[in-house]
Amino acid sequence: MGKMAYQASEMKVKSTHIIVSFFTAMVLLQSCVATQSVSTLKKITVAADGSGDYKTLQGALNSLPDSSATARTIFIKKGIYSEKIYIEKANIIFEGEDREKTIIIASIARDEWRCGHMDDWGVATMNIGANDITLKNLTITNNYGFDFKERTIWCASDTSANKEKVLRKDGHQMALRTMNMATRMKAINCHFRSFGGDTVSPWEVYNGMWYFKDCIMEGGVDFYCPRGWAWAENCEFITHTGPAAIWHDGSGNEDSKTVLVNCKFNGYDGFMLGRYHRDAQFYLINCVFAKNMRDSAIYIVPTNNKILWGKRIYYYNCHREGGNDFNWYSNNLPAGVKENDITVNWVFGNRWNPTIN
């Protein structure tokens, strides 16, 4: 090979190395940017005053990819967020800065909503239609009953001849409603508020799994009304009106149950503890009832529903403030079940561990 030919060949090799190095660097740079972008997407800040990434929760939620293998966090600064939330993306943590000062609020009467809609999607302040949603340090309020103004509306679905419906202060007012077969929802240190019924409505009778810890719930009839499997620990229940505070639908599976551990019940003078319309299974463990609770056990509402698995209402170490306990909540755990057996894992089995997931 001649000297000039050798030099030309060497320059070609060097040029190839430079080109390869350039493209390698570009790929690495793009990878770093993508990694940084994914990392950034894992936590978004919402602030009503404009100091965060978004001013509204729905805006932050809409910015996220439809799916993710890992949980995304939306951190919500203190403030009042007057909006209705629709959650259709899974694996999201909504974390408030301060429970009493991070408030999501809307005003919706279910009776009015169903006059113009075929189902409940949108009936609540927070509407959940996706799996693996976590709520932390939030107050979620349906303000309809607290800010009630008497109204009569025209309602196409009403059974009266003139199609007029009188809206009630104590009607169903959902702060939280799950739909679309959503499951594995947990709420920690949250406050759910309404004046009327069905405040907290996690409804999925066949596969629903719900976990509440250190929460306050308040409302009217059946204001805590899970379907499926539910665990509530260290929670306070405040009854404003209606013939029952808690409710359960366990008709989808004989094993499904609602378990309340170390919970406290307060309410108006003569408030009643609970009821059910379908197969249900209640466990109340180490609970405390206000002195003014009525001497009235959890009861079945007469309907045409067929009860397959009998009366399953169990208590252990529950007491009424000031003593003078009522006989109907005496210890009566079923045979083979001890107090120490009743754990989160006992409720959900191997399907879900909300204490670590």
Average pLDDT over residues 204-220: 98
Please give the Cα distance from 123 to 133 (Å, whole number).
18
Residue 336 has pLDDT above 60, yes or no: yes
Mean pLDDT of 275-288: 98
Residues in contact with 322: Cβ distance below 8 Å, sequence separation at least 6, in sequence order: 291
15: pLDDT confidence band, cut at 50, 70 and 90? very low
* pLDDT value for 209: 98
- Look at residue 31 and tell me whether its pLDDT is greater than 90: no
**Cα–Cα distances in angstroms (integers) from residue 15 to residues 18, 23, 212, in the given order:** 5, 12, 64
Residue 158 pLDDT: 82
> What local confidence, expressed as pLDDT, does residue 27 receive?
40
Q: Evaluate if residue 94 carries a pLDDT over 50.
A: yes
User: Taking 90 as the threshold, does the pLDDT of residue 32 lie above it?
Assistant: no
CB 81 within 8 A of CB 105: yes
**223, exposed or middle or buried, with CB in 10 Å at 0-12, 13-18, 19+?**
buried
Six token digits for residue 73:
């966090």
Q: Which residues contact 336 (CB under 8 A, 6 or more apart)?
A: none
Query: What global pTM score does this model have?
Result: 0.88
Q: Mean pLDDT, to the nearest integer, of 262-268?
A: 98
pLDDT tier, 317 (very low <50, low <70, confident <90, very high otherwise): very high
The C-alpha atoms of residue 235 and residue 248 are separated, in whole angstroms, by: 16
d(CA 173, CA 153): 17
On the question of pLDDT at 345 being above 70, the answer is yes
pLDDT of the residue at 34 = 41
pLDDT of 299 > 60? The answer is yes
CB-based contacts of 327: which residues, under 8 Å, 6+ apart? none
**Strands 164-166 and 152-154, sheet pairing:** antiparallel
What Å distances lie between residue 304 and 254, 277, 300, 315, CA to CA? Answer: 19, 9, 12, 27
Confidence label for 357 from pLDDT (cuts 50, 70 and 90): low
| CA-atom Rg of the chain in angstroms | 27
Average pLDDT estimate for 48-70 = 96
Q: Which two tokens stand for residue 348?
A: 């959900």
List, for residues 137-188, the tens digit of each pLDDT value. 999 999 999 999 999 999 988 878 889 999 999 999 999 999 999 999 999 9
**pLDDT at 1 exceeding the cut of 60:** no
User: Which letter does DSSP use for residue 327 in this model?
Assistant: G
Domains, the chain, ordered by start: 91-351 (2.160.20.10)
Confidence of residue 42 (pLDDT cuts 50, 70, 90): low
Q: What percent of the chain has pLDDT over 90?
A: 85
198: left (phi over 0), alpha (psi -120 to 50) or beta: left
